[in-house]
Structure 1
Amino acid sequence: MSTPEPKERAGSFSSSSAETATHEDNEKLARLDPVGDEEKLKAPEELEIDDGGEDDGLLNRESARQPEPAQPAPSSFRSALIWMSINTFATIGIVFTNKAIFSEPSLKLAQLTFAAFHFFITWLTLFTISRPRFAFFVPRRATIRDIMPLAIAMSLNVILPNLSLAFSSVTFYQVARILLTPTVAAMNFVLYRATLPRNAILALIPACAGVGMVSYYDSLPTADASVKTTSGLGVLFAFLGIFASSLYTVWIASYHRKLNMTSMQLLFNQAPVSAFMLLYVIPFVDTFPVWAEVPVSRWVMIMMSGLFASLINISQFFIIAQTGPVSSTVVGHVKTCTIVALGWITSGRAIGDKSVLGVFVAIGGIIAYSVVMLQEKAKQAARGSR
């Protein structure tokens, strides 16, 4: 779960360990950021369930030709809590599972192959839940020519963060993803002159400073071999991944408008194109392991990663439909804090390590930003109801 507002976007919910982040970052961004006037688009939860949404209008026009998809019925608090718990555990699970996979030297440099596998799992999951038996959404087709630029951006949005995870500590990887929010805000300002409230900008300053502190202290060499650190490559891939994810988040808004598709419809078209495209590049980029020598435990983890990806895709649909921005934001911060805490515990660092200050500053800043943006949305809703 932070966005390019004024617009909405679809995230690759499963492909990167960034579903923590990216997917979910895209969805959280959509729920929090301010919207402009002419560029205004609805947040994903509005897109999926609001009767007056742009995509709903499209579906209404198509209703004469095809049955309307069944939406999840409003469910109890217990049901929403179950899906949020599934999403939380799957998100945490995919980060640490992928980290374990990438810790295997023979698999660390097979990133494109791993991304293609996740794209296939993403498509298979969406294909399954779009069938009439489930009817979570109605698939719509886009031409390869239309979708190819976005598929390339989607691939970078997944591969670069995964490379960051492979060469970084989990703590640094997750804290660095906080920069997605200010980067998206900066891109929105440059491209669309969209501005944030003053208090939100002030909250992002310590968030960025905290990430800088973690970047510095986490990358310092240590005499203790048991302490997990971040390499220079990890820092480089992290910042490249943040730029790629931010560009993808901002850019995808125009595709929602251009193709008149919901997030799931767009992702359903992107995923297979991205996977197929990578097949042409994999032989020239990836370093393949001797597959027979890959431990069985790693194969189990790869299957678990795919399972977590599917659970994230499915649970995100219900979370968007059944919860509001406050619940979604709280869940997002719970996942961030949990991943950072578990990453710290497994890193071997002492409680008094200097980078812990940066962690608290960064997380405190992004939580303050979320509070400001939620208050701003509440004010906008109050003014709109008058």
Structure 2
Amino acid sequence: MNVLLLLNGLKGRALEELRSSLYNELRTSEGAKRQQQRFCGPVVAMSFNFMVAVGIILANKLVMGKVGFNFPIFLTFIHYSIAWLLLAFFKALSLLPVSPPSKTTPSSSLFTLGAIMAFASGLANTSLKYNSVGFYQMAKIAVTPTIVLAEFVLFRKTISFKKVLALVVVSAGVSVATVTDLEFNAFGACIAIAWIIPSAINKILWSNLQQQANWTALALMWKTTPITIFFLVALMPWLDPPGLLLFKWDLNNSTAVLISALLGFLLQWSGALALGATSATSHVVLGQFKTCVILVGGYVLLDSDPGFVSLCGAVAALGGMSVYTSLNLKESNESSSKQQNPLPKTKTSENVSEDSTVTNTATNVV
């Protein structure tokens, strides 16, 4: 009996110490970032984002189709408003990770990210309303080269020739897979083109701030969501059709919109985690992977027939995505191994370093 009491006491003490250490880790931005990286690596983050993305597609189809809620900007506004309320609840319970010091990240960067996020999310839902799924996916393909070009211009970041070939195969495969669903709409095409640049910059900023400035996904969402809500309110009169006050807010319709909003919060969170764990380009490739999996899965499980050409395109795109992912994992393993096992200095290099130091000192004295 005494032994059981002793074991229970030790177990309770260990749990309390674990809870205390985890709480202390969340009190600093560096500790919170370490916890996010520990529990949510690239595979977990991208799998989480993939499952939520599929769920919100079904929810938004229900809301905009069966429910008849044809106000995409206001729907996005509801998504971010619910997200902000949930984040405020987390903050009240001291569960929200601490933000990095203000001097490390200019307020202009956070303001820019919040504004661009409003345009990227709002225009995406508007494009999905006015365009076919095929045209929407064709527009998403253009985001990939835009990200590569923007990262080169802003950060001088380059990618290998093998990755370029893999991305070309992915883009060509998705084009072939969705070409049978192309329906042109002049207004929808303008919205899709206007969405490309904000979408690319949004992903780059999310990825860069988390990887370079010790931001966690939730902390960054807390800072930028109010700015996004403000700009969504400004976009509503321009892009949403009239008749919002005439919508019937009964129990079924309100529940469908609420479910879409909760999934929208999870999509934003999972997308931020994926961007923090990988890169902007990888996140775009994940979105195209989702499209191809749905296409092939519908053919295998639901007896849908998209056509032989579309299936070949989807299979080719999945192959390109697999190659691109393997190249990313290989580079990540190589970089981590170099960090863990730095090359020791040779004796010759040490002598050269010492000689150069003596020479420089002598020169300074003279």
Residue matched to 2:320: 365
Q: CA 1:128 to 1:349, structure 2 compared with 1: closer, same or farther past 3 Å?
A: same
CA–CA distance in structure 2, aligned partners of residues 179 and 266 of structure 1: 27
Q: Does 1:263 align with 2:189?
A: no
Structure 2 length-normalised TM: 0.65
Q: How far is 1:203 from its partner?
A: 0.7
Q: Which runs of 5+ in 1 are unaligned?
A: 1-48, 50-54, 221-229
Which TM-score applies when normalising by structure 1? 0.62
Number of the residue aligned with 1:116: 77
- Whichever residue aligns with residue 221 of structure 2, its letter is L
CA drift of 1:311 comes to: 3.8
Q: 1:299 maps to which residue?
A: 254
Out of 244-253 and 116-125, give the one that drifted further.
Answer: 244-253
CA gap 1:380/1:255 in 2 versus in 1, 3 angstroms = closer
Which string of whole-angstrom CA distances, capped at 9 and with x for unpartnered residues, describes residues 284-305 of structure 1?
Answer: 4422335344675443221111
| 1:252 CA drift (Å) | 4.5
CA displacement 1:128-171 (0-9 Å, x = unmatched): 233345x2412579797664332221111101221232234456
Matches of 1:345 and 1:101, distance apart in 2 = 27
Cα deviation for residue 198 of structure 1 reads 1.5
Q: 2:171 aligns with which of 208, 211, 215?
A: 208
* Larger relative helix fraction: 2
**How many residues get paired?**
309
Q: Residue 203 of structure 2: which of 249, 252, 255 is its match? A: 249
> Is the 8 Å Cα contact of residues 170 and 340 (structure 1) preserved in structure 2?
no
Q: Is the 8 A contact 1:130 1:138 kept in 2?
A: no
Distance change >3 Å, CA 356–CA 319, structure 1 → 2? closer
Partner of 2:53: 91
Q: Which amino acid aligns with 2:165?
A: L
CA distance in 2, matches of 1:92, 1:121: 20
Name the SS for the 1:194 alignment partner: coil
Amino acid at match of 2:156: R
Deviation at 1:114, TM superposition (A): 1.4
Quote the residue 1:137 is aligned against: 97
2:226 pairs with 253, 256, 272, which one? 272
Does the CA-based 8 Å contact 2:73-2:125 persist in structure 1? Answer: no
Structure 2 CA distance for aligned equivalents of residues 184 and 71 of structure 1? 28
The structural deviation recorded for 1:369 is 1.2
- Secondary structure at the aligned position of 2:84 is classed as helix
The 8 Å contact of residues 203 and 275 in structure 2, kept in 1 or not, is answered as: no
Distance 1:214 1:273 in 2: 37
Distance 1:238 1:174 in 2: 10
Q: Give, in angstroms, the shift of residue 352 of structure 1.
A: 2.2
Partner of 2:69, secondary structure, is helix
How much has 1:243 moved relative to structure 2?
Answer: 2.7
Taking a change above 3 Å as real, the CA distance of residues 314 and 362 of structure 1, as seen in their structure-2 partners, is: closer
Contact 1:144-1:273 within 8 A present in 2 as well: no
1:2-60 per-position Cα deviation (integer Å, ceiling 9, x unaligned): xxxxxxxxxxxxxxxxxxxxxxxxxxxxxxxxxxxxxxxxxxxxxxx9xxxxx999747
| Corresponding position of 1:218 | 181
Residue 283, structure 1, aligned to residue 237, structure 2: yes
Alignment of 1:105-254 (within 5 A): 107-108=69-70, 110-133=71-94, 135-139=95-99, 147-170=110-133, 173=136, 177=140, 179-214=142-177, 216-219=179-182, 231=185, 234=188, 236-252=190-206
Residue 307 (structure 2) aligns with: 352
Whether contact under 8 Å (2:289, 2:321) holds in the other structure is no
| Within-5 A mapping of 1:35-54 | none
Give CA deviations for 1:181-235 in whole Å, capped at 9, x if unaligned.
4431222123332111111111111122223334533216xxxxxxxxx756555
**Aligned equivalents of 1:315, 1:191: Cα separation in 2:** 25
Tell me the equivalent position of 1:36: none
Q: Quick one: which amino acid aligns to residue 82 of structure 2? A: I
Distance of 2:139 and 2:234 partners within structure 1: 31
Is the Cα contact below 8 Å between 1:99 and 1:165 reproduced in 2? no
Q: Partners of 1:233 and 1:129 in 2: how far apart?
A: 40
Shift in Å, 1:360:
2.6
C-alpha contact 1:179 1:211 (8 A) present in aligned 2: no
Give the distance between the partners of 2:69 and 2:165, measured in 1 at CA: 41
**What value does the CA root-mean-square deviation take over the aligned residues?**
4.7
Partner amino acid for 2:310?
S
Q: Is the 8 A contact 1:188 1:250 kept in 2?
A: yes
Q: Give the alignment of 1:333-352 within 5 angstroms.
A: 335-341=290-296, 350-352=305-307
Alpha-carbon offset, residue 239 of structure 1: 4.6
Q: Give the CA deviation at 1:275.
A: 0.8
Aligned to 1:377: 332
Amino acid at match of 1:197: S
Identify which range, 158-167 or 328-337, moves more after superposition. 328-337
